[in-house]
Structure 1
Amino acid sequence: MPVTSAGIVDQSEVDQSEVDQSEVDQPDAGQSDADRGRITITTMVLLGAMTGLGPFSMSVHLPGLPRMADDLATSQSSVQLTMTACVVGIAVGQVVAGPLSDAYGRRRPLLVAMALYCATSAVCAAAWTVPMLAGLRFAQGMFAAFGMTIARAVIRDVADGQRLVRLFARMALVSGLTPIIAPNLGSALLVVTDWRGIFVVLAALGALFAALSVGSLRETLPPARRTRLRPASTARTYAALATDGAFLAPSLVVGLAYGAMFSYVSSSSFVLSDAYGVSQTVFGVLFAANAVGFMAGGQLGAALAGRRGTIRALRITLPAAATAAAGITLAALAGSGPAVVGTLFLTVASIGACMPIASAEAMRTRPDSSGTASGLLGLTQFALGGLIGPIVGAFGSTSALPLGIGMCLCLLAAFALCLRPAAPRPTPSPAA
């Protein structure tokens, strides 16, 4: 099997019989088809929802931050630290969740984490100080991260090749709804309750996910494929992943693309309102439209990867995204608000097209430790997103120029990773 630049296997160069075989669920010896290889619609929706649980938990309470500051008798900036704590918890939790799921299977750690997420969210509703709430939000983010990490690992357990890309794109259909639903739901809840009631709703959501996991999520990692949980062994696995170009290159592509996306999410409301006079109502419509574009882009990217191969698909979608981001810059220089809005839509949709492809490529390199790989992939994604977003936002909101330049640079760097030569490495045996 040929290995191309950046250590990414070009599926278009693989023998067609091998590609066809990757479309079929192949259960491991000793496992029945009922245990592995089938993903129902219910399970797919559940996995997609869990992938979005961390960002949802992070953003659903945003409309209630001013009331929270008043209730806790503190400043707005102090309350915003609770959101930062949740982001850090999501990043750390993924690193913890990966090795645990490789050692104990997917279901058990997930069920425990969802139960703890439910309990932590309920206690958040009773917090009376900012430090207490920040600590609880860190724990809440950690437990939400288990759902994100294990969802990716489950998909890797049951799929490979183009089917893996396709399933990642389908998960994005559900998780892509998060930016639409979370702020709007938070605003709607504040009509009938306060910020504490929002955390009660999150607790109920955790209980619902736990119940659905019991009923519809099968164990996809058989005991024969599990690894012993040892700190030294886990550290070696993470070190091996971090130095493996076949994993690291697509992981960085995901992180840089998410950095561009996070820049948009964190800055666009200020930029569009301050620089171009867009009202909050109109911005909500535009934000929803872009989220739909992101989801549609994921499906188009998966179809493109099926026809042209993964590396070629990335070499099409990433330049398209960078070009659209350059269009934001030109539109900002021209002072055209409508052009900024149009090029933002194209950029977000193109990012949606490339992220599932790159995520699948990162996950497929290490089928023997897919939980740990998923954790490091998630850490890379959130670390780069959390770093790049504030940097872009620091340049102000009087123009879309910083946003366009920042997104363009991220996407060009991601594209460069797909062009960088990498030494061939043995192809791991497929897990599906």
Structure 2
Amino acid sequence: MARLRHWLAGRLPPRARGRLAGNVRAAELAGLAFAFRARAVAIVVVSLWLLVLVPWPRDLYYLSVAGLFFLLGYLPYRLRHHPRAGPIKLAFTVLDIALMTTAIIMPPPAGLGVDWPIQTRLRTPEFLYVLLLLGEAALTYWPVAVLWTGAWIAAIWSLGVWLVYGRADTVRFAEAARDGPLGAEAALRVFLDPAFVGLTPLWTQVIVTSLFTLLLAIAVWRSRRTMLAQVRAEVVRADLARYVSPDVADALAARAHAGFGAPQTRVVAVLFADVVGFTSMSEDLGPERVFALLRGFRERSCKVVFRHAGTLDKFLGDGFMATFGGLDGRGDGAARAIACAIDLQREIDAWTAKREARGAAPIRVAVGVHCGPVVIGNIGADQRVEFTVIGDVVNVASRLQSATREVGGRILASDCCLAAAGPEAAARFTRSLPLTLRGRTRPIVVHVAE
């Protein structure tokens, strides 16, 4: 148990670290695939809008740009399993930004566009399309991709605007005001000149892009932390479940830092099960067959106990101890324990039928069930801790299991346990009798199921 706590504290063993890395990688690949699908949907929507907005045949030019943009997204998507898929995606992101910036600033080829000055291309709101690339990057669970995309958007867009601003035919406030400050009307005439380019919109775009990039990167970073925590919790829980019951693994993973296992008193149903005559059976079997028999019994027992939301407390050689109601607090532990005992006998009967069909010896399992108040929690030393239940209820359940030999039934349940389980469970038992258990002086009423 100490090692399990170390896992929760962050010191995962190599095998668990490998699974953690694999699960994180799978989540990242799923994010890349989702980002590509979102990109494809965005391309379809924008293409349909261009068909409505742009007249024929100029729309063919922009549709071809949309097709090339789709191709630039499809290639890194197909290469997402490549060892260097990350750098490949980042490189294609630069190509995305360059393509989109060029398509926005540069006019269509001769004969497809309107014969307006190139400077007018900077007055349209098409820059917003470039910001869609930030949205795609945010879907990848990769903050670096967001920062990379934002930085290149600011750099490439600024370069494009600066090249237009530096053209000889561009009208600028600096030149218009060379002979003195401009009045309101003169400034308006300069501003309305088709060849005018001002840098204030560029600074605004760069600042907004930077802020938007930063906010998105923080959001993606937080989402990634949440994703990593969820993946890590699932890996830890899977590893814990190899040592303890799933419900104990869930509770330990959820409350590892909140004093899990502190002793407390609860009403719990306890079930003991044991293979009848296992010692004599082992005399005629080799070690390998004994091992196979025990493994088969334990696999089936685990399946049945977990099916009824029980806690497999411990294996005891050819038997086991299970508890119900110790962690979930549902109040139906007795009913689930009785149902588990009956279900276990069905499972063993089905297994026995298969064994007898191939000439193997039948298996018979004795079960004892009792319920009552116990102390549940961690017990042991710092080096070795066991989560278990302690109390007279455990002793009685164990004695009931042993008493099945003298009583003749396959399941013995105490009267208080059957009363707590309800009339539906009581209908499964055929007879009742007072019984003085070994080591006790007062008899208790027990119910027997054949």
Question: TM-score band, normalised by the shorter chain?
Answer: under 0.3
- Specify which structure has the higher proportion of helix: 1
> TM-score scaled to structure 2, two decimals?
0.22
> TM-score scaled to structure 1, two decimals?
0.23
- Specify which structure has the higher proportion of strand: 2
